[in-house]
């Protein structure tokens, strides 16, 4: 099939590379000329395991191309995927200006039947707005081309997106016509050779499914973090409580790891956008509001522990930080807990020596740009030299089995603040650390 994907960000690039890998002819389009120039040269703007290799391989085959030419790429495509950003507005709603701008361009250029696929995470009812915009443009030029708007939300985990796309646990397709649904089935058939995992439904239900899924996962995280805070107050151990409740099949272990809050491009934005949608329809989403409230507070847990230990004036203090990305396996720092923690400490006078295997450039050039109190290290042990404490924020694999003696020998003190509960407290105390984690009372 001939596919055009508009928006060459995270979702667009992963989708484009994977569709091309299955033999489709894919063109990824973006208005950012430098980004497209780099992609043509094999320079990928994001870190995602396996993505660069897939892009280079399919570019060489000619099955994956990159362009800034919306006009011709839309005309030639059987399917046009909309994968542009939907940033959060000031009121928490999803900003649809880019989606609707793309819809306008599609309406200006399609000449024959086209399936328009909303891949971006969009509020319920967006497909109707896209349809209206496209039809308006067709009417302006008296074009009789027919089209369908389909919702096909992505469920990709950053750090495992290629596997998630190539071996999906489900593919949700919201379609209001049998013709468009049949085309989507054909497109995804190569990804489902073992058994059919395509779930078809109406468009609005598909749009809602994406938000409901992310809201559910965010709820589990905020729930376990709420429990961790109660555990710390009453003298219980959240790690043991987690094992106790996770063994119940109705609950399970997934997404009940206590920590210093969730981040990324999806959960914070989607929880607030869904809450805003509910309020627009006259419903007060108390649970969703609480999920977001708990998460915002949780991002201050580690900095509060540091302040409790050292006092409010941190002038002259140096802290080693391991991990900047919002999760391991990515360089994405959108809404990362590290931003809150580092800014809170540096505004009180602290200096930070930070190490992250992938997110250094993102921090330095964007999310912590202008914060002169942060120094970026090339190696994790380098960040420890002369530091008053170690703060672990992102649970990268290379942090799971560190040289603990080397840590102690490089730090000024034995203080270790663990924002992801990576180690056993009793073991760490035997090793001589003043080890402070989430949801466990400090002695």
Residues labelled catalytic: 266
Q: What are phi and psi of 114, to 5 degrees?
A: -140, 140
CA 227 → CA 69, 111, 169, 235, 263, distances in Å? 52, 56, 30, 12, 19
Q: Report the distance separating Cα 80 and Cα 105, nearest Å.
A: 11
- Short-list 273, 260, 415, 247, CA closest to 335: 260
Residue 324, CA distances (Å) to 5, 225, 330, 414 in order: 30, 20, 10, 22
Residue whose pair of structure tokens reads 């997106």 in the numeric block: 161
Do 320 and 384 meet the contact criterion of CB atoms below 8 Å apart?
Answer: yes
How far apart are the two ends of the chain, measured CA to CA in Å? 63
**8-state DSSP, 230:** H
Q: Is 32 helix (H, G, I), strand (E, B) or coil?
A: coil
Strands (E), 253-366: 318-322, 351-355
Pairing of strands 198-201, 171-174: parallel
Q: What is the DSSP string of 90-105?
A: TTS-B--HHHHHHHHH
Q: Are 373 and 350 in contact (CB under 8 A)?
A: yes
Dihedral angle sign, alpha carbons of residues 318, 374, 376, 307: positive
- Report the alpha-carbon angle 52-397-428, nearest 5: 165
Task: Give the Cα separation of 268 and 352 in Å (integer).
Answer: 26
Q: Are 158 and 10 in contact (CB under 8 A)?
A: yes
Number of H helices, E strands in the chain: 17, 14
């Amino acid at each position: 099939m001939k596919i055009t994907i508009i928006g060459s960000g995270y979702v667009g690039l992963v989708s484009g590379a994977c569709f091309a890998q299955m033999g489709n002819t894919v063109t990824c389009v973006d208005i950012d000329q430098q980004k497209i120039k780099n992609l043509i040269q094999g320079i990928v703007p994001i870190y995602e395991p396996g993505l660069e290799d897939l892009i280079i391989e399919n570019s060489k085959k000619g099955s994956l191309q990159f362009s800034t030419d919306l006009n011709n790429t839309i005309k030639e495509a059987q399917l046009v995927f909309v994968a542009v950003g939907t940033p959060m507005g000031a009121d928490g709603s999803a900003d649809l200006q880019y989606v609707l701008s793309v819809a306008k361009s599609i309406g200006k250029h399609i000449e024959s039947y086209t399936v328009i696929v909303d891949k971006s995470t969009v509020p319920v009812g967006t497909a109707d707005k896209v349809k209206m915009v496209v039809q308006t443009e067709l009417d302006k030029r008296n074009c009789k081309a027919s089209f369908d708007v389909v919702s096909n939300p992505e469920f990709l985990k950053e750090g495992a997106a290629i596997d998630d796309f190539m071996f999906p646990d489900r593919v949700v397709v919201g379609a209001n016509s049998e013709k468009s649904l049949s085309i989507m089935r054909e497109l995804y058939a190569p990804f489902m050779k073992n058994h059919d995992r395509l779930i078809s439904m109406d468009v609005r239900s598909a749009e809602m499914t994406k938000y409901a899924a992310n809201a559910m996962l965010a709820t589990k995280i905020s729930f376990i973090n709420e429990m961790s805070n109660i555990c710390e107050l009453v003298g219980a151990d959240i790690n043991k409580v987690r094992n106790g409740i996770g063994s119940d099949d109705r609950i399970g272990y997934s997404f009940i790891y206590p920590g210093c809050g969730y981040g990324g491009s999806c959960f914070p934005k989607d929880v607030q956008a869904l809450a805003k949608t509910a309020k627009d329809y006259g419903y007060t989403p108390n649970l969703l509001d609480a999920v977001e409230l708990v998460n915002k507070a949780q991002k201050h847990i580690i900095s509060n522990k540091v302040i409790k230990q050292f006092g409010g004036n941190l002038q002259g203090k140096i802290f080693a930080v391991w991990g900047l990305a919002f999760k391991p396996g990515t360089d994405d720092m959108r809404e990362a807990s590290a931003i809150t923690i580092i800014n809170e400490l540096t505004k009180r006078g602290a200096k930070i020596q930070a190490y992250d295997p992938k997110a250094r450039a993102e921090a330095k050039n964007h999310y912590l740009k202008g914060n002169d109190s942060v120094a970026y290290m090339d190696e994790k042990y380098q960040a420890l030299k002369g530091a008053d404490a170690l703060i672990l924020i992102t649970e990268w694999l290379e942090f799971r089995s560190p040289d603990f003696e080397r840590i102690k020998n490089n730090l000024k003190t034995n203080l270790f603040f663990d924002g992801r509960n990576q180690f056993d407290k009793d073991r760490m105390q035997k090793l001589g650390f003043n080890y402070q984690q989430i949801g466990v009372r400090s002695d």
